[in-house]
Amino acid sequence: MEYDPKEKNRIAGYEYNTLMSLMHVSVSKHLLDEHFTLVWANEFYYELIGWDKDEYEARYNNLCDTYYADDQEELAKLTEVVMDAIEGSKGGYTHISHMPKKDGEYVWVRMVATFADEYIDGYQVSYTVMTDINDLVLMQKAQTVTYNALPGFVAKFHIDKDFGLTLLEANARYTAFFGDDCWDTGADPLFLQNYAQNQQAIEASREKILSGQPISLGLTVKGVDGREARLQVNASCVDWQNQEPIYLAIFIDITDVTELREMQQKLEAQAAELKEALTAAEQASRAKSDFLSSMSHDIRTPMNAIVGMTEIARIHLDDPGRVENCLDKIALSSQHLLGLINDVLDMSAIESGSMALSNSAFSLPDFMENIVAIIQPAAAEKRQHLFIRTFGVEHEHLYADPLRLKQIFINILSNAVKFTPEEGSITLTLEEFPAAREGCGQFRFTFADTGMGMTDAFMTHIFDSFTRERDSRVDKTEGSGLGMAITKRIVDMMGGRITVRSAEGKGSTFVVYLSLHIEENPACYPALPPLRVLIADDDELMCEYAAQTLDALGIDAECAEDGEDTVRQIISAHDAGQSFDVLILDWKMPGVDGLEVTRQIRARIGEELPILIASSYDWADIKKEALSAGANDFISKPLFKSTLCHTLKRLIYAENSPIADKEKKPQYNFGGRRFLLVEDNALNQEIGVELLSQAGAIVECADDGIQGCEKFAQSPPGYYSLILMDVQMPVMNGYEATQKIRALPRADARAVPIIAMTADAFAADIEKARESGMDGHLAKPLDLPLMLQELSKLL
């Protein structure tokens, strides 16, 4: 299918702007004319300088020399750099600028410009990427405090191509010894005298200095008070400016040997720290560059699918089947794109310190059931074997942030599924140990797979931001490269730790250690009659642990190691008049599987033995086969104590199975209910009205918080059954509107359910919504089943 070139350009521009905005990178397009005229810039350019786009254009006419009019010195530096690049036929330039902002403020930026093969009105075009390095510069300035704490002289010099020295920074000891005039190296008589006296030694290192190599010199100098001193100088190149070295020099007065030794120890320690920090900064910079390149591809892939499938659907509007297929693919691509964006936003929140953890009660069995439901379909698609084990888990009701805990599990397990070949295995083991702190349980979660593994080199960076393995086996596997970095940060925030072991071709094992608060009230299990249970599972450890768990509940449990052994024990016990009361049968076993075992038992002894199928597979996927073979019920792995106890009670006393209820798709009918949707975006209003109307609700809309308050205040009591409130709105935001509604002097003001419906989806946002008086929180983009479920709960 052919596309309009203008549409292609618009899409490409949108993709690029989206990526740059996510990364908070300023991109601008300039003419190489006498004004360095601004042709175009993204929104972060204006955010960086503090000016609104329209204000900037009106005030400065997009002329950069006019913008720098109040800082001629900085303009001269920038002009010199640009002219040097043009006259030297270079492809661009790099420059650090003290850039003016609105209201007289300044920001330090790093400019990286590329000259393009594009001309407008005869002038060549330059594309410039600006990065905010204000924090880095301020940190460097703060280093002066450290310099002053050292017992020696510390100074930083810029050495130009003609070997001229310019003093950039110095500690108090340096200026006290050489005097306040030392800053003017070109005119200070004392500096010129000391340089002349040591010229031979300095000139001997000229080649090393200009090439940025470390140097060590012995100098004899005079101070401003006329005192002569013998100094040992150690200097290293710490930066480059316009291809000229910046040197940090330490002057040690070797007339005092004690000071020399003290200084040497401090310098060695500081040098190691600086080297480590520099290496880390360089790695982070390279990783971010690689990440931008990869993310450009990974974002473009689902976006192209969305745009392409939309066009195909338009062409085939008369073919409902083709349109439905396109919509399914658009939905899948949208979810993938949302996952990438969420990773970037999560990492941004973590690095900025704005991510907060909640502390909510949750059930570990329910939590694991949800994890298995999410991971199992992807594993089944690749015919992978998914094993879930529990050992020593005594506390099933815990306190933590279940959303972030689920993120840890899903990130690790998703990678295991991605990088494990078909018919490979993935094993998740949950263990609890006695905790050092009272009221807590020490948990160890082990994620092991038989996948392709990792190189030793990559393992050292597995938890770094913006890193992905470069390997032909995984290059087609898309992702943000942030999943494991986010996982590590969340584990750290929870006070835990994570380790990894891996070998190429042998798989990987991640281990997460967490101390989780436990529910104060001990678990209460229903009483069961004396039972004799046979557990059949080819996983010997899991089988023994399940038997121990049942023994603790007062149930006599025995184990069978495979299908044939199971049939033999069941028939033997039946013939001896000591039949088992229940058989817990693993669905997937080598040789004779659970399905065939069930058939053989039914054929030999009939229907008298209740058979429970145990599996981590979705019951809906195997229910038909299991029931037709003669199974009575289903129990989900892992086999928690509460799961075993309640399932056996349900089976023995012939209670209704909750599994059957889960299989029924819930039907929601809000007929006769009137909802108030407070949302400033017309498209979001349309979506909300349509989705809620399909469930029978009558929906009225308000465009901002003020309108929402007025509509509610002017309505009779009980008129609205529920309010859906956006947060970020003009005139009045959702938090303020909620507080105003709650304060109204009417009976239903405090009772009417108010739900946040917003793109602000972090834990801190959910907590803020609760504090403002809201009853729930729905994150955009809306998950329709989840939205209907939450509304139904509140109503």
- Quick one: average pLDDT of 346-375? 75
H or E segment at 260? helix 257-315
Phi first, then psi, for residue 498 (nearest 5°) are: -135, 140
Between 284 and 310, the more confident residue is: 310
Phi first, then psi, for residue 431 (nearest 5°) are: -135, 145
404-423 pLDDT tens trace? 898 889 889 988 998 899 98
Whole-number pLDDT of residue 666: 63
Task: Name the nearest CA neighbour of 729 among 737, 721, 740.
Answer: 737
Summary mean pLDDT of the chain: 81
Q: Specify whether the CB–CB gap between 376 and 616 falls below 8 A.
A: yes
Say whether pLDDT at 303 is over 50: yes
Say whether pLDDT at 23 is over 60: no
Share of the chain above pLDDT 70, in %: 81
Reading the block at residue 752, the tokens are 């009417």
Say whether pLDDT at 17 is over 60: no
520-553 pLDDT tens trace? 766 666 677 888 999 988 888 888 888 888 888 8
State the pairing for strand pair 556-560/532-536. parallel
Confidence of residue 509 (pLDDT cuts 50, 70, 90): very high
689-744 pLDDT tens trace? 888 888 888 999 999 999 999 999 999 999 999 999 998 888 899 999 999 999 99
Confidence of residue 83 (pLDDT cuts 50, 70, 90): very high
201-242 pLDDT tens trace? 899 999 999 998 999 988 889 999 988 888 888 888 988 888
State the pairing for strand pair 106-120/92-100. antiparallel
CA atoms of 727 and 738, how far apart (whole Å): 10
Say whether pLDDT at 754 is over 70: yes
Whole-number pLDDT of residue 38: 93
Q: How many other CB atoms are there within 10 angstroms of residue 557's CB atom?
A: 23
User: If you average pLDDT over each of 8-17, 57-66, 663-672, which comes out highest?
Assistant: 57-66
Q: Specify whether the CB–CB gap between 705 and 754 falls below 8 A.
A: no
85-138 pLDDT tens trace? 999 888 899 888 888 888 788 888 888 899 988 898 899 999 898 888 777 666
Q: How many other CB atoms are there within 10 angstroms of residue 415's CB atom?
A: 22
Say whether pLDDT at 475 is over 50: no
Whole-number pLDDT of residue 79: 92
Phi first, then psi, for residue 421 (nearest 5°) are: -70, 170
Confidence of residue 314 (pLDDT cuts 50, 70, 90): confident
Share of the chain above pLDDT 90, in %: 21
DSSP string, 288-318: HHHHHHHHHHHHHHHHHHHHHHHHHHHHTTT
Whole-number pLDDT of residue 701: 93
- Quick one: average pLDDT of 413-440? 88
CA atoms of 465 and 463, how far apart (whole Å): 7
Three-class secondary structure of residue 722 per DSSP:
strand
Reading the block at residue 118, the tokens are 């594009």
- Quick one: average pLDDT of 319-343? 74
Between 516 and 519, the more confident residue is: 516
Interacting residues of 507 by C-beta distance below 8 A, sequence separation 6+: 420, 424, 448, 449, 450, 451, 452, 453
623-665 pLDDT tens trace? 788 888 888 888 888 888 888 888 888 887 766 554 444 445 5
Q: Specify whether the CB–CB gap between 722 and 748 falls below 8 A.
A: no
Reading the block at residue 141, the tokens are 């300035």
Whole-number pLDDT of residue 479: 52
CA atoms of 61 and 273, how far apart (whole Å): 47
Between 36 and 785, the more confident residue is: 36
Q: Specify whether the CB–CB gap between 561 and 540 falls below 8 A.
A: yes
Planar angle of CA 399, 403, 409, nearest 5 degrees:
95
- Look at the block and give the residue holding tokens 């040789």: 591
- Quick one: average pLDDT of 392-413? 88
CA atoms of 197 and 195, how far apart (whole Å): 5
CA atoms of 170 and 155, how far apart (whole Å): 4
Whole-number pLDDT of residue 142: 52
